[in-house]
Amino acid sequence: MHPILFTWQLPEWLSNLLPFLPQAISPRSYGTLIALGILASWAYGTREAKKLGIHKDTITDMFLYLILAGFVGGKVLFYLEDPSYYFSNGNWYRNLGSGFVFYGSFLFALPTLWWFFRKHKLPTLPMIDIIAIGGAMVHMFGRMGCFMAGCCHGIPTNSWLGVTFTNPACSAKPLGTPLHPTQLYSVGMLVIIIAILFIVKKHKKFPGQLFPVYLALYSAGRFIIEFFRGDDERGYVLDGGWLTHSQLISLVLFPLAMIFYFWLKRKSQSNTAASPQ
Q: Respond yes or no on whether the N-terminal peptide bond of residue 126 is cis (omega within 30° of 0).
A: no
Residue 227 has pLDDT above 80, yes or no: yes
Rg (alpha carbons) of the chain, rounded to whole number? 21
Q: Would 70 be classed as within a structural domain?
A: yes
User: What is the tally of structural domains in the chain?
Assistant: 1
Q: Helix, strand or coil for residue 216? A: helix
Q: Would 38 be classed as within a structural domain?
A: yes
- Better-scored residue on pLDDT, 273 or 134: 134
Q: Would 254 be classed as within a structural domain?
A: yes
Query: Quick count: other Cβ atoms within 10 Å of Cβ 64?
Result: 10
Residue 160 has pLDDT above 70, yes or no: yes
Q: Would 147 be classed as within a structural domain?
A: yes
- What's the pLDDT tens digit per position in 129-144? 999 999 999 999 999 9
Q: Would 3 be classed as within a structural domain?
A: no
Strands 178-179 and 163-164: antiparallel
For 183-270, strand residue ranges (E) read: 236-238, 242-244
Q: Domain span at residue 124? A: 8-274
> What is the structure's pLDDT at 224?
95
Mean local confidence (pLDDT), 19-24? 74
Beta bridge partners of 9: 24
Q: Would 2 be classed as within a structural domain?
A: no
Rounded Cα–Cα distance for residues 164 and 178 (Å): 4
Q: Of 196, 234, 221, which Cα lies nearest the Cα of 81?
A: 234
> What is the structure's pLDDT at 163?
94
**Lowest-pLDDT range, 102-111, 112-121, 204-213?**
102-111
Q: Would 86 be classed as within a structural domain?
A: yes
- What's the pLDDT tens digit per position in 59-71? 999 999 999 998 8
**Lowest-pLDDT range, 187-201, 226-240, 245-259?**
226-240
